[in-house]
Amino acid sequence: MKIFLILTGVFLLIFSCADQGKKTSYEDRTWWKEGVIYQIYPRSFKDTDGDGIGDLKGVIEKLDYIKSLGVSMVWLNPIYSSPNADNGYDISDYRNIMKEFGTMDDFDSLLKGLHERDIKFVMDVVVNHSSDEHEWFKQSRSSRDNPYRDYYHWWPAEKGTPPYRYSLFDPKGDAWKYDSITNAYYLHYFSQKQPDLKWENPRVRQEVYDIMKFWADKGVDGFRLDAFQYAAKDTTFPVLPVGYEKNVIKYYGMGPNLHSYLKEMYEEVFSKYDVFAVSEGAGSTFEDAHSLVDADRNELQMAYHFEGMDVGNSLDRFQLKEFKEVYTKWDSAFAKKGWLSVFLANHDVPRMASKFGNDSPIFREASTKMLNTFILSMRGTPYCYYGDELGMTNIGFDSISQYQDIAAINGYKKVIDTGGDVTQYLASLKFLSRDNGRTPMQWDASEQAGFTTGTPWLPVNDNYKKINVAVENEDPESCLNHFKKMVQLRKDNPVFVYGKYTLLLPEHDQIYAYTRELDGEKMLIMLNFSPEVATVEIPVKKDLEELLMNNYQNVFLKDRVLSLEPYQAFIYKLKN
């Protein structure tokens, strides 16, 4: 008996050590860390009823395509009822589906279809603001003593003009809109049709938790909290320093009580379901980001910071050195605690290939594959924005009449009103506008790229005959097939998910090189971000063992000197 107990004790000790060893390298393994998120802008994915607007049935029709990518989560931009001042980011009913997108039955079928394919669903939750056409706001604006009055921020006009608040989408840049019905101003950080909800009111918070539970009960697996860092406000509205709007996140982000609201949301919603939540925006410091997502805080689970995408947010080509610095410092700040999102595009920015790669015909494919190699070999949860698996590019409008985006249109009005440089503004929109990343998905070479039988709400990019799913499916060397291979490689090798990241060649102005290592396994990733050949000695002491990924036919290597072709990207497993 004694011997049995001793043996059992020894066994348990060995077992627990092995287990602990695992915990240090893999941290806390969870499905949302190990998967890849595919972001779909539903308006532009697939239209099934010929109105030129994508719909839920369209996403359902393409479920097998989504599955074929190997991704494990799908995030859809807002699908709730909306007058579409900001394409669904202005919600008029949080428990209904936008009529252009379909019905609740369509939603239920979509969710079922995803789950049958083992794909999780991430719901966009837009609760910093609602639409001005939401019933709450209609009530709120109707009289000062309406029970919904305190659902929004009102400033009675008899107190004088409210302290200046900058609005991101207002044609005058003014976040206070005067409303004559009750002789008061309401607050809107985004457009006039997006009044900010008053999170300081516990009834508002309860409404939101109930809405989130409504969707969690339906089976959604994750939430993406839109602009949530702005939700908490100092309701005394103090005067802010002149020029503060140049740093909106610092002054609007992480307001008083934001953490207590998030803790409450965790208690009320997240803790009761197997769901995760990602915050859009992560404050302005690492401390802010950690304070939102560290597991021991029980608030959110994943941070989505803007700094990586902000590199090169101008007409000048982005600087690789700065890009490397940003990704490296965020990785090291999150090496021990917290979890990041990794992405190079979304619905608010230009196409990845045009911004960080090179969309000229000779380099588009290589640079797209290089960027996807980057996203899918970094630590954090990778996001692929629909069409980036194909290497879709900016459409590049020339005239303001071509734009649909409220940010572009109201920004233009502001430039005109303030006598700004219109030519300069249009040049910057042509490259940076959000519509660049919202053109219809390119399915095949038929008319309108197979997106719609009608007239698409935003034109299809002219390059659709060459860049589309049908063509790329047939070509083993296409961006699409490279993307699939990279997703599979990541799935097969947890080192890409959890492994330690080390930057190499920090000063090199063409090559981004780094290693990932886990449990004695080490990978070398080398990416040439330039249109010229780049030559460099192998930046590690170890020998190369096996080439796991390459976007060219060969790797030129002689006497430990590597020559990388323009936008070449490869991954080697290193010898132990």
Region 110-139 residues binding ligand TEU, contact defined as CB under 6 A: 126
Closer of 155 and 190 to ligand TEU (Cβ): 190
One-letter-per-residue 3-state SS of 215-244: HHHHCCCEEEECCHHHCCCCCCCCCCCCCH
Based on the shown chain and the rule CB under 6 A, indicate whether residue 307 belongs to the binding site for ligand TEU.
Answer: no
- Asked if residues 84 and 90 have their Cβ atoms less than 8 Å apart, the reply is yes
According to CB under 6 A, which residues from 278 to 297 bind ligand TEU? 280-281
* Closer CB to ligand TEU, 70 or 253, in the complex: 253
Give the whole-angstrom CA distance, residue 547 versus residue 526: 11
- Amino acid (one-letter) located at 480: L
Distance of closest approach, residue 444 Cβ to ligand TEU, in angstroms: 28
Report if residue 196 touches ligand TEU, rule: CB under 6 A.
no
165 lines the binding site for ligand TEU (CB under 6 A): no
State the nearest-atom distance from the C-beta of 105 to ligand TEU, in Å: 27
Cβ 226 to ligand TEU, closest distance in Å? 5
Shortest spacing between CB 227 and ligand TEU, in angstroms: 4
Told to check if 89 binds ligand TEU by CB under 6 A, we report yes
Q: Does the protein bind ligand TEU through residue 226 (CB under 6 A)?
A: yes
Q: Does 168 bind ligand TEU (CB under 6 A)?
A: yes
Question: Rounded distance, CA 212 to CA 104, Å?
Answer: 16
575 φ, ψ (degrees, to nearest 5)? -70, 150
- Give the Cα separation of 133 and 406 in Å (integer): 17
Q: How far is the CB of 126 from ligand TEU (least distance, A)?
A: 5
Residue type, 236: T
Instruction: Work out whether 108 is an interface residue with ligand TEU (CB under 6 A).
Output: no
Which one, 78 or 102, has the nearer CB to ligand TEU? 78
The Cα 540–Cα 478 span in angstroms is: 30
**Could you give the strand order of the β-sheet that contains 222-225, starting from the edge strand earlier in sequence?**
302-304, 276-280, 222-225, 120-125, 73-76, 37-40, 381-385, 341-342
Cα-based distances in Å from 353 to 192, 268, 360, 361, 366: 33, 41, 9, 11, 10
**Which candidate in 226, 331, 388, 472 is catalytic?**
226
**Nearer Cβ to ligand TEU (35/281):** 281
- Cβ proximity to ligand TEU: between 82 and 478 the closer is 82
DSSP state of 315: S
Cβ distance to ligand TEU smaller for residue 61 or 93: 93
Written as one string, the DSSP assignment of 55-99 is -HHHHHHTHHHHHHHT--EEEEPP-EE---TTTTSS-SEEEEE-T
- Would you count residue 228 as binding ligand TEU (CB under 6 A)? no
- For residue 404, count other CB atoms closer than 10 A to its CB: 17
Indicate whether 245 belongs to the interface with ligand TEU (CB under 6 A).
no
In whole angstroms, what separates CA 75 from the centre of its chain? 9
Cβ atoms within 10 Å, residue 116: 10
Out of 190, 215, 403, 443, the residue judged to bind ligand TEU by CB under 6 A: 190
- 479 near ligand TEU, rule: CB under 6 A: no
* Closer to ligand TEU by Cβ: residue 347 or 485: 347
When the beta carbons of 227 and 275 are compared against ligand TEU, the nearer one is 227
Instruction: Determine which one of 280, 365, 388, 472 is catalytic.
Output: 280
Q: Is 145 a catalytic residue?
A: no
Judged by CB under 6 A, the chain residues 347 through 406 that form the site for ligand TEU are 347-348
Shortest Cβ distance from residue 31 to ligand TEU (Å)? Answer: 24
Q: Does residue 227 touch ligand TEU according to CB under 6 A? A: yes
Among residues 47, 86, 170, 331, which is the contact residue for ligand TEU, using CB under 6 A?
86
Residue 365 known to be catalytic: no
Binding residues for ligand TEU, total number by CB under 6 A: 11
Rounded to an integer, what distance in angstroms lies between the CA atom of residue 94 and that of residue 123? 11
How far, rounded to the nearest angstrom, does the alpha carbon of residue 403 sit from its chain's CA centroid?
22
Q: Measuring CA to CA, which residue among 432, 355, 248 is closest to residue 424?
A: 432
Check binding of 41 to ligand TEU (CB under 6 A).
no
101 binds ligand TEU (CB under 6 A): no
Question: Which residue's CB atom is positioned nearest to ligand TEU?
Answer: 89
Q: How far apart are CA 363 and CA 286, in angstroms?
A: 35
Considering only CA atoms, give the Rg of the chain.
Answer: 25
Residues designated catalytic: 226, 280
**Binding residues for ligand TEU (CB under 6 A):** 86, 89, 126, 168, 190, 226-227, 280-281, 347-348
